[in-house]
Amino acid sequence: MIKLLLLHILLLCRLAAASPAVDQTSLLAHRWNTQGSNYPTVFLHGILGWGEAAPLFGSVYYFGGACQNIVSDLREQGHTVVAPNLGPLSSNWERTCEAFAQLVGAQTDYGIARSNRFRHNRYGLDYSGTALLPGFASNFYGDTAESGRIEKINLVGHSLGGSTARFLTHLLTFGSQEEMDACASAGVECSPLFWTNKTRPLVNGVFAVSGVHQGSVVDDFLHTNGGLLTLVKGLTSTIVGVNNINNEDVIWNLQLDHYGLIQKEDEDFFQFMNRICESEWFLSDSTAVYDLSVAAHDTPLLTFVQNSPTTTYFSAAGVTTRYILGVAVATLQTNLFLAPFANLIGSYSNDSLAVLGTYSKEDWRQNDGMVMLASSRGPKSGFRDFQMDIQADSEAALVESAPTTAPVKGVYNYVGVLDGLDHADVVAVMDVVPGRVDSLYRNILKVLNALAP
């Protein structure tokens, strides 16, 4: 018996020596009885965010802030990681189409049915020849058996990016029958994103960090009280004003060309933003702010999205409030600019939002300064507890904290609360010292890589 045990230990040591970079990931896969996987990971930013290619002020990354680039750091560790640029004020549908176009190197196709409904052009920016993941494109264009083909991808989304990840997974799994029918009626070719006859799973894992799966009551409050216009104009004007004192290179490509909302040559960005906020589009149901409202999650524009039965979903929630006597109050861990929103969420009531009554007040009022705990855990279809220390500072601690049974596909596996991180902290966008969330994102990729292929 002792000899067998020694042989087993020796075998594990040899495996570790042969591939030290994946040792603990292999142990996590072993814990879940899988062989593990190694697919590229796509990072999706939230509202008013930006992709890796266009850092704020030329040097501030959405994932990492001014002192580091988390996406680049992960790439240097041997991971294939990309972060496309999505419309900062656009709906999840449009952001999904934009992400797909950048991943496969194609012209952005928003769909015939969608463009007819919201009266905009079918096509947007063209990324032909500049695919972020050329191997993934081979699933839709050319010879799918060619070498280097990427069979699946993983998605990591923050805030609205978590919702976008779910949209993208849905369309890559089920397609859109409405868009297929519209293309058939028009006698034109449909974007592969909308194909309904996909023959293989394309998204292996999704990890939502402080995701807005059921909206945020901040959005509903601002809609009701007329503060949305002031907030959006104020935030964008401030950020762009700092970045662009001379009104030259604008920080965001708003990607609203398909609505005809393009900055004119004699128009500075402040004037451009005023025109956007006064446009028919801004008050339409095809914006990020619409998708962020709790009320919108009862409408067909959002309820059609389903979890994929072949994808493993994870979620983690930020909480920097303290629940006392029926209300949640911002703690000192909450950034000053988020504290008013944290306190608003912590005391918000609205009888017209029936979903608020389906959870305890504590679940709806505890928050990270922007998103409620209940919303971050998962969509209305639900979640299951899958508690693990996703912020563990060592690989061994991560593996030890993980449940011994594998995460379930097709449902959000909620790993727990992110200790001490508010909605901005979790992506380190305001950090002046790098490294605070390094272990979080390393662990997220370890978890995704431990999933069965």
Q: Has residue 242 been placed in a domain? A: no
Across 431-435, average pLDDT: 90
SS3 at position 445: helix
Query: At residue 239, does pLDDT exceed 80?
Result: no
The percentage of the chain sitting over the pLDDT mark of 70, rounded to a whole number, equals 88
More confident residue, 437 or 58: 437
Q: What is the mean pLDDT of residues 254-272?
A: 87
Give the CB-side neighbour count of residue 235, counting CA atoms within 13 A.
14
Q: Which residues pair with 22 in a beta bridge?
A: none
Evaluate if residue 334 carries a pLDDT over 70. yes
For residue 56, give the CATH number of its domain. Answer: 3.40.50.1820
Q: Is residue 248 part of a domain?
A: no
Q: What one-character-per-residue DSSP string does 337-383 give? A: TTHHHHHHHHH---TT-GGGGGS-HHHHH-BSSSSBHHHHH--TT-E
In-domain check, residue 350: yes
Residue 171 CA to residue 192 CA, distance in Å, equals: 9
Angle between helices 160-174 and 92-104 (to 10 degrees): 70
Phi and psi (nearest 5°) for 155? -125, 135
Question: What pLDDT does residue 313 have?
Answer: 98
Calpha distance 29→203 (Å, rounded): 18
Average pLDDT value for residue range 339-356: 92
- Tell me whether residue 51 is in a domain: yes
Residue 190 lies in a domain: yes
Q: What is the pLDDT of residues 28-47, one digit of tens each?
A: 999 999 999 999 999 999 99
> Can you give the residue range of the structural domain that contains 200?
32-222+288-449
Determine contact, residues 409/44, Cβ cutoff 8 Å.
no
Q: Is residue 25 part of a domain?
A: no
What confidence score (pLDDT) does residue 323 get?
A: 96
Distances (CA, A) of 70 to 4, 53, 74, 172: 43, 13, 6, 26
345-162-169 Cα angle (round to 5): 145
* Residue 8 domain-assigned (yes or no): no
Count of domains for the chain: 1
Give the tokens for residue 374: 């209940």
Cβ pair 200, 151 in contact under 8 A: yes
